Amino acid sequence: MPEGNAPFSQTEYDRRIALTRYAMDVAGLDALFITDPSNQAWLTGYDGWSFYVHQGVLLRMEGEPIWWGRFMDSIGALRTCWMSTDNIFGYADSYVQSTVRHPMQDLAERFRDFGLASATIGVEMENYYYSAKAHEVLLTELPDARLKDATALVNWQRLIKSHEEIAFIRNAARISERVIETAIDRAEPGVRKNDLVADIMHAGITGVDDIWGDYPAIVPLTPSGLDATAAHLTWNGDPMREGEATFFELSGCYRRYHAPLCRTVFLGTPPKEMRDAEIAQLEGIEAALDVARAGNRTCDIAQTLIDVLQQHGIYREGRCGYPIGLSYPPDWGERTASIRIEDQTILQPGMTFHFMPALWMDTWGLETTETILITDDGPAEPLCNVERKLFVKD
């Protein structure tokens, strides 16, 4: 192993590679080219803010993974990956944002050197980090190869977390508690939203005791009033106002692992309809967590929540949760199973989800969520310890 800083044991990386190779074999792949930075990190430990340029990990059916990217970032790969130096490759800076050449030309040459010119190679086509141009160049440069869509092949292997990973998520949960508590404590009429977010981000990076904070894959989502009727707004410089609700959708992050947590603060006296919705939401959460047991399905969680809400006259559609763990911007979800009524994924011990029964109504939003762990026996375990309620500050 080079002088790197890969965060997990070699046994853990061997486990991950074995899972991925089994899935590759089932899919009929000779090799897999992985561009999702979360999947790269999961297999190799690579950790750097370099996903704005072309980079990736090549996994064959034998041997160590190969990291490939911009030459200046290959130094970071030497510092963070567990593989030998012989399996880290960098391309020249003349390829970066060039109009006359493309990094995939360099990658295609590597593939030919590895004997993959006529291989079946999986690529992550539905991926933020693999462009249409990249795919076009690879097709042109490797006319005898078969490029096969392997979107989410690695993601699905990440669904059940190891004990090492769960320990990291628990660390992230401690930071999530701190950032949510900071948001609730600092929320007051007249406080500028950007100042509040600055405090939140400071708390998240500071961490808790010796658990240091990393940057989360999503920035703080902190809309107030009518803005809170929308799901994914960030912040502005306006002061917080009496008579408005603000939901805080936040996550601590430790070594790229997340534990999202949402709570809502109302400044003043909440309207009756919001208080009634709070009762329904909390009842739905309790019932759904009891159903979130190994052997049940993700759709069972969603249906239980929806049934409870409907009993209270609230009709909610759409997804209400997703797997979480290791991630990079722009999303902390793993993009595999969903907690929704049409998803039949069987729950297994070690799965971790952001269970998100948020309500976005005509004039306000109410987010109360939990990161949950599917246990060996019994209901799901919420990993954060923050009181589950609408916080009211008169």
Which tens digits make up the pLDDT trace of 327-369?
A: 999 999 999 999 999 999 999 999 999 999 999 999 999 999 9
Domain positions in the chain: 10-157, 163-393
Q: Which residues of 191-229 are buried (b: 16+ CB within 10 A; e: fewer)?
A: eebeebbebbbebbbebbeebebbebbbbbbbbbbebbb
Section 146-151 average pLDDT:
98
Q: Which helix (H) or strand (E) holds 175?
A: helix 163-186
Residue 249 has pLDDT above 60, yes or no: yes
Section 19-47 average pLDDT:
98
Q: Residue 120: helix, strand or coil by DSSP?
A: strand
Phi, psi of 76 (to 5 degrees): -65, -35
Phi, psi of 257 (to 5 degrees): -95, 140
- pLDDT score, position 74: 97
Mean pLDDT of the residues in the chain: 97
Q: 222, 193 in Cβ contact below 8 A?
A: yes
Section 10-18 average pLDDT:
97
- pLDDT score, position 394: 87
CATH number of the domain at 10-157, out of 3.40.190.10, 3.40.50.720, 3.20.20.140, 3.40.350.10?
3.40.350.10
Q: Would you say the C-alpha torsion 198, 266, 207, 128 has a positive or negative sign? A: negative
Burial of 3 (0-12, 13-18, 19+ CB in 10 A): exposed
- pLDDT score, position 4: 63
- pLDDT score, position 5: 79
Q: 236, 224 in Cβ contact below 8 A?
A: no
Binning the chain into helix, strand and coil, the percentages to the nearest 5 are 35, 20, 40
pTM for this entry: 0.97
Distance CA 365, CA 385 (A): 22
Distance CA 116, CA 139 (A): 13
The CATH classification number of 163-393 equals 3.90.230.10
Section 247-275 average pLDDT:
98
**Residue 237: strand pairing partners:** none
Give how far the C-alpha of residue 376 lies from the chain's centroid of Cα atoms, to the nearest Å. Answer: 23
